[in-house]
Amino acid sequence: MHDVPEIRAMIRELAVYEKAAEQARATEEQLRAALFGEDPAAFVLIAEDGDTGGVVGFALWFPRFSTWTGTRGMHLEDLYVRPGTRGAGHGRALLAGLAAICRERGYERFEWVVLDWNAPAIAFYESLGAELLEEWTVCRLTGAPLARLAARAVPAVG
């Protein structure tokens, strides 16, 4: 819980790298509730420097469910390692830790998305054996389109 300010800072750093700084609006309070509240929405692994103990990276994930396999899986929302510490194995250690959680919990899928222009990340993921599912496109509703669609909802009965 004491790492929340560092997690928030790294989320902002990641958003800057991904050219979307204005979209990273999560507050420390929101992250604290989402990660450490009574009903967590997500979970996080932290990477620390072995010499200094400083936080150098994080992996934020949440469970998902596959109707095709009938089992839970894991969605990695964010993986970030600070630039000055890349290449030291922190990213691989974070992903290995998540893979171990998948195996322990019986999750059959471990999935995430990567920006198509992020060649270093794509190469890294491929080196781990990740399959790139190029036939899938991420869809998103936010703001006014989300509100318009929600307004068309039929009230639930019972």
Hey, which residues are catalytic here?
A: 125
What's the CA gap between 73 and 154, in Å, rounded?
30
Name the one residue in this structure whose structure tokens are 């469910």.
65
How do strand 109-112 and strand 55-66 relate by DSSP bridges? Answer: unpaired
What's the CA gap between 71 and 113, in Å, rounded?
20
DSSP string, 70-102: TEEEEEEEEEEE-GGGTTSSHHHHHHHHHHHHH
CA angle 61/72/81 to nearest 5° reads 20
